[in-house]
A and B are shown apart, each in its own frame.
Chain A
Amino acid sequence: MITRPALLCCRFLAALLLPLITAGALAAPAAEPIRIGVAEALTGPASQYGIPILNGFLLAAEEINAAGGINGQKLLLVTEDERGKKEEAINVFKKLIFQEKVLLIFGPTLSNSMFAAGPIANAAHVVAFGTSNTATGITDIGPYIFRSSPMESDVVPATLKTVGAHLPLHRVGIIYGNDDAFTKSGYDVFKSTLQQQQVAVVDTETYSRGDVDFKAQLTKLKAAQVDAIICPCLAEEGANILIQARALGLSVPFIGGNGFNSPALLDNAKSAAEGTWVGSPWFDGNTAAENQRFLRAYRQKFHSDPNQFSAQSYDALWMLVDTLKKITLTSQLDKNRELLRDALPMVSFAGATGPFSFRPAPSHQGKPGGYDAHQTPFVYVVRHGKFTLVR
């Protein structure tokens, strides 16, 4: 607990320091960095996505600043932990917008949090740029909401079409977590896409967050005699589902959503993952020069392999740099925020995730929407313990 005298003391110190800080800022106006907010889940369960995302930003920022920044101005990442929680995301967004006075905010990590915090940024006329939000409806929040992560509804049709070209796909079963925005949204997309492609769903099973035993649901799916099982699950649950399915003698191929798109799936499921299909905006085996450069730099800096999430955040920061180079920032923050929001939709970029541009989200009842990612997904299947690209 902070006692009253201690609080007074703090205030006194702050008052002493304040002129120093502002004086320092005034002395060198040209070198003032561009403040970029990064609000990601750095602790809590979602940090398994948030930390790779932050790493992507850190790597890109380091490269950009080493190359001299943007027209002489360096980038300064103001990082906040939103802990993968709605309330926390709202607090962090307010702090970044009103206290830290950032130009835009990258994040938050989960779609759930964007639904909660996005409206704050939109009302304050500050761009909120998600690099990992894939749920439908995110960009309906308003014209200041951008995302570089393709929606499941972009990835799933391509995935199912490719699978259908390689094996019979007439009757399928689905298993998904119905208490999570990410897996639920993945399920909705699969369901409507399957309907469009006239594939019959003969059994749908659900589980709850934190479940480890899926044998009851899988036994039912086995009895339903399906061609394949659709699993819009996260990698950890997905690995367990695969292992238990194989142990029960259920040998049909699995088709995963965005959550399957993780080295953790192969790592945990091992041979049980064989023959699993996934669609993804990023492929680590992509030989494009941008991707190879990213892979090398990431491994060198972090001594580990990047994943899709770090590739997407890395690309997002470079996209921002591309845009900032085209506009002239003024001394007024509000005006700069508007300038950026107007220039960002014009992005045309090729990075670690391949060619990228933005697509305006359809407006709802006359309300303008934000911008979704326009990108062709990669489709791959697990063969001999490795993700293998399928054309």
Chain B
Amino acid sequence: MLSMLAQQLVNALSLGSIYALFALGFTLVFGILGVINLSHGGLFMLGAYAALFFLERHWPAWLALPVAVLVTGIIGLLIDLLVLKQLRRQRAPHLMPMIATIGATILMTSLAQGLFGAESRHFPLSFFDNASLTLGAVTLPYAQVAIMVIAFGTMITMGWLLKKTRLGIALRAIAESPRAAALLGIPVERLFHLTSFLAATLGGIAGILIGLSFNAISPFMGQPMLHKGIAAIILGGLGDIRGAVLGGLFLGFAEVLAVTYLSSEYRDAFSFGLLFLVLLWRPQGLFGATHLRSA
């Protein structure tokens, strides 16, 4: 019984880090640009497909994976240039970018389906060969160890970037007030582009890692992840990097514990019920400040 609990806690940590990794890029865009970018699920899916595309052309993994991340970043940048920037220029209300990015997602999904087909695909390689790390009665696939390390590594790097570098200070100034930042001479538009690029690369990394560890790449993989991602960033506090990671972990633990002690039938009811309770207690989320945008 105890060994089962230990295994479940490890399962929760690994599931939570997946949600956290996805939520990182998602929350970054909200923190800086102030928009909910619903195409993040699409970028996540595209990252996995870009990697698949290069790997199937026999590119070595050390080249294929970074290039795929770069491609995803560029597509994220394009979405910013072609969609979000136009809406910013027109001072469109908050709902517009949400709807527009849903459109971008549909476009990406259809494109992936047209090019690669609807069936679920997998990478033509197995870095980890489904091998697992075993500690006593507890096992954890190596691929997920990698996800955890990367999720926490990214969180720490992003935290450092935002707190300690000039770029981070500029970004936080924009998060506070884009207009004031512009008056201070910060190139706001350029940093918006950079943020969209960075967030998309994070989405791409998440897509590739999840593609690697679950062997399931499909044009529709972004949608369920998007739902969990939204839950994670709302829980953690919109726009907060630590919040996204902790929100993701919270969701992972809630789900796994619901399966362990209640029934998998009530998993989502339990985890989203818990989310609701947390929001009643702290409407701004675990880490959200009252003014919401805090990067």
Number of B residues whose C-beta is below 8 Å from A?
39
Choose one: A47, A210, A215; the contact of B11 (CB below 8 Å).
A215
The answer to whether A217 has its CB under 8 Å from any CB of chain B is yes
- Chain A residues with Cβ under 8 A from B113's Cβ? 43-44, 47
A219 touching B215 in the complex, CB below 8 Å, given contacts A247-B132, A264-B120: no
A215 to B12 alpha-carbon distance, docked (Å): 9
Contacts of A246 in B (CB 8 A): 130
- Could you mark each residue 220-249 of chain A with 1 if its beta carbon is under 8 Å from any beta carbon of chain B, else 0? 101100000000000010011001101111
Interface residues on A, range: 35 or more
B117 touches A48 (CB 8 A): yes
Q: Does A96 contact B (CB under 8 A)?
A: no
B216 interface contact, C-beta 8 A = yes
Q: Which of B63-71, B72-80, B185-193, B218-226 contacts A (4 or more CB under 8 A)?
A: B218-226
Taken together as a complex, chains A and B put the C-alpha atoms of A43 and B110 apart, in Å, by: 8
Nearest-neighbour CB distance to chain B for A129, whole angstroms, equals 23
From B214, B218, B264, B268, residue with most partner A Cβ within 10 Å: B264
Decide: B11 and A216 in contact? CB cutoff 8 A: yes
Q: Which residues of A contact B221 (CB under 8 A)?
A: 210, 212
Binds B, one of A200-208, A335-343, A372-380: A200-208
**Whole-angstrom distance between the alpha carbons of A268 and B14 in the complex?**
21
B130 A219 Cβ-Cβ under 8 A? no
Any A CB within 8 A of the CB of B86: no
Q: Are A212 and B259 within 8 A (Cβ)?
A: no
* B246 interface hit (Cβ, 8 Å): no
Which of B141, B220, B268 touches A208 (beta carbons < 8 Å)? B268
Q: Which of B7, B11, B215 contacts A268 (CB 8 A)?
A: B215
A72 to B24, CA, bound (A): 65
- Given A206-B265, A264-B120, A45 contacting B220 (CB threshold 8 A): yes
> B120 to chain A: which residues have CB within 8 Å?
48, 236, 264, 268
Measured CB to CB, the closest approach of chain B to A332, in angstroms, equals 40
Are A216 and B216 in contact, with the CB atoms below 8 A? no
Q: Mark A188-213, 1 if CB is under 8 A from B, else 0.
A: 00000000000000000111111111
- Given known pairs A205-B259, A223-B4, the reply for A215 and B117 (CB within 8 Å) is no
A216 touches B265 (CB 8 A): no
Closest to B131 in A: A247
B218 contact set on A, CB distance < 8 A: 45, 236
Q: Say which residue of B14, B215, B265, B267 sits within 8 Å of A215 (CB atoms).
A: B14
How many angstroms from the CA of A220 to the CA of B255 in the assembled complex?
Answer: 13
Give chain A's interface secondary structure class: helix
Q: Find residues 264-284 in chain B having any chain A CB closer than 8 Å to their own CB.
A: 264-265, 267-268
Given contacts A220-B260, A236-B216, contact A247 B130 (CB under 8 A): yes
Q: How far is the CB of A55 from chain B (nearest CB, A)?
A: 13
Q: Which residue of B lies closest to A271 (CB)?
A: B130
Are A210 and B220 in touch, CB under 8 angstroms? yes
Are A210 and B224 closer than 8 Å at their CB atoms? yes
Contact B256 A216 (CB under 8 A): yes
- Interface status of A272 (Cβ within 8 A of chain B): yes
Q: Which residue of A lies closest to B119 (CB)?
A: A48
Asked if A217 meets B224 with Cβ closer than 8 Å, knowing A212-B210, A268-B120, the reply is: no
Contacts of A223 in B (CB 8 A): 1, 4
Q: Determine if B7 and A243 form an interchain contact, defined as CB atoms under 8 angstroms apart.
A: no
User: Given the complex of chains A and B, what is the CA–CA distance between A268 and B122 in angstroms?
Assistant: 7
Contacts of A122 in B (CB 8 A): none
B216-A248 in contact (CB<8A): no
Whether B15 pairs with A213 at a CB distance below 8 angstroms is: yes
- Please tell me if A323 contacts chain B, counting CB pairs below 8 Å: no
Contacts of B110 in A (CB 8 A): 43
Using Cβ atoms and an 8 Å threshold, which residues of chain B touch A220? 4, 259-260, 264
A contact residues around B146 at 8 Å (CB): none
- What 9 pairs across the A-B complex have the smallest Cβ distances? A210-B224, A236-B120, A216-B259, A48-B119, A47-B118, A215-B11, A212-B214, A216-B256, A223-B4
- 18 pairs from A and B in contact (CB 8 Å cutoff): A45-B218, A47-B113, A48-B117, A48-B118, A51-B117, A51-B118, A205-B264, A208-B267, A210-B223, A210-B225, A213-B11, A216-B12, A216-B259, A217-B259, A222-B4, A236-B216, A239-B215, A243-B130
Q: Which B residues are within 8 Å of any A CB, using their own CB?
A: 1, 4, 7-8, 11-12, 14-15, 18, 110, 113, 117-120, 122, 130, 132, 139, 141, 210, 214-216, 218, 220-221, 223-225, 255-256, 259-260, 263-265, 267-268
